[in-house]
Amino acid sequence: MVPSLSTKDLILTTLSAAAVAVLLRVFVVGLFSIPSHSMEHTLRAGDNIVVSKVSTWFDSHQRGDVIVFELPDSLRGTAPDEPFIKRIVGMPGDTVRISRRGVTVNRIPLPPPASSATTRAIRSGRKRIIVPSGHYFVMGDNRENSWDSRYWGTLSKDHIIGTALLIYWSYGPSDDNAEPHIRWDRMFHRVL
């Protein structure tokens, strides 16, 4: 015979589960929706992703990581407090050079991301940036359509929310179907 739960046990179990869920959501993982095309084709507008907040605890970000962050107040203006998502290109101490031919980091050419929507040369002017300590240089994979460190400077590590892990839901048009639909082929793919 299975023992029955008392009302007190049921309430305590429910409250404990809710507390664990809130703690996980606040400190360990986050769920975010991609609103723009700046990371295509790695991430598309309408993708919903899981983000690990643990990487910010240990300051373990690496070049190539796709991160979610908040803009500093000085850049946000009247825009809503929506998080941004970009790829880390330059680490603290790196020298990043941008020209029409592409991006170099510490004099090594950086190939565009494999899934990038960009096929043309970068349009922004020539720049040379030395990434300060505690900051990162970030760019969108769709470099023709991304408002990133080329325009507003480096990103302080204090503004990073976490590292993108995987796409858990995707809804919108695709290359072969202009009508919005569930993009089953994108679900549960790691963000690389």
Catalytically annotated residues: 38, 86
Question: How far is it, in rounded angstroms, from Cα 47 to Cα 36?
Answer: 10
In sequence order, what are the beta bridge partners of 98? 103, 127
Alpha-helix residue ranges (DSSP H) falling in 34-154? 54-58, 73-76, 149-152
Amino acid in position 91:
M
- CB neighbours (10 Å) of residue 132? 13
Bond prior to 41 in cis (omega within 30° of 0) = yes
